[in-house]
Amino acid sequence: MDRSASQLPELGQDPGREYRLGIMGGTFDPIHYGHLVTAEQAREALALDLVLFMPAGSPAFKQDREVTSPEDRYAMTVLATAANPSFYASRFEIDRLGVTYTVDTLKALRSAYPENVHLYFITGADAIIDIVTWHDAAEIASLATLIAATRPGYDIRQAQARIAASGIDFDVRYIQIPALAISSTNIRDRVRLGKSVRYLTSESVMGYINKNRLYHM
Ligand code: NAP
């Protein structure tokens, strides 16, 4: 993959040092403060140089409900991340046709960046618990360190046992994020019921939701 054609930020320029790239994977329907705090705390805890927010393209694994268009989810991601110099919103998955598998994204990023850039895939622990069933799970394990963000009260033992039983050598770091008491589901429900979502997501995202009548009845 050509990094400039894909509008990926530059990283790995100095061959004499190691770089760390975070990839924040999620549907982001919509993005909220829980996601932003997760990325910021992962950045700090693991000394990540940059975090790429990667809204999922066509989540075929989400047949149970209608997902907001990729362009709307991407636009909200741009708005929410715009002011942070370490955060970038990426079109990579939404521009791909068909289902995007995490392994394909990681392979493309691996080939776009030099070897001194280590990849860290960040997502919710509820998603990570299923990683053993994801497409090419063993290859994911060889391409990236995984950062699993947990909501308060989340018991990581079930995820740890499932991952250990897979026999795949995943490197998973768990980080507890109290702000993940906020959820996209709850925001969608509140909008549908005409309730306030102020302070759950940014003013810019809230404005975008209202202007485009997302999640309304
Ligand atoms: P999901 O099942 O919608 O989310 C599971 C839980 O994790 C939800 O509670 C969700 O909360 C939370 N979450 C999701 N993304 C998060 C993030 N970046 N930071 C903190 N919490 C997060 O998961 P999903 O959004 O569909 O998928 C998550 C990532 O895994 C995506 O990048 C997706 O492409 C990848 N994935 C890949 C495969 C595969 O390759 N086969 C399969 C499944 C998922 P909110 O609803 O509040 O976000």
Residue nearest to atom 37 of ligand 1 (CA): 102
**Measured in angstroms, how far is the CA atom of residue 1 from the centroid of ligand 1?**
24
Q: Is the CB of 102 under 6 A from ligand 1?
A: yes
Does residue 119 register a pLDDT over 80? yes
Q: Is the CB of 26 under 6 A from ligand 1?
A: yes
> Which of the pair, 16 or 61, is modelled with greater confidence?
16
**Widest CA span in the chain:** 55
Distance in angstroms (rounded) separating the CA atoms of residues 140 and 134: 9
Spatial contact of 46 and 84, defined as CB atoms under 8 Å apart:
no
Q: Give the ligand 1 atom nearest the CA of 140.
A: 40
Distance in angstroms (rounded) separating the CA atoms of residues 146 and 211: 36
Q: Which of 54, 123, 168 to mutate to test the pocket of ligand 1 (most atoms within 8 A of CB)?
A: 123
Q: What pLDDT was estimated at residue 1?
A: 61
Does residue 63 register a pLDDT over 60? no
Tell me the mean pLDDT in the region 102-114: 96
- Copy the structure tokens of residue 31: 């993005």
Tens digit of each residue's pLDDT (9 = 90 or more) over 121-162: 999 999 999 999 999 999 999 999 999 999 988 999 999 999
pLDDT band at 22 (very low <50, low <70, confident <90, very high): very high
Read off the pTM.
0.96
Does residue 39 register a pLDDT over 60? yes
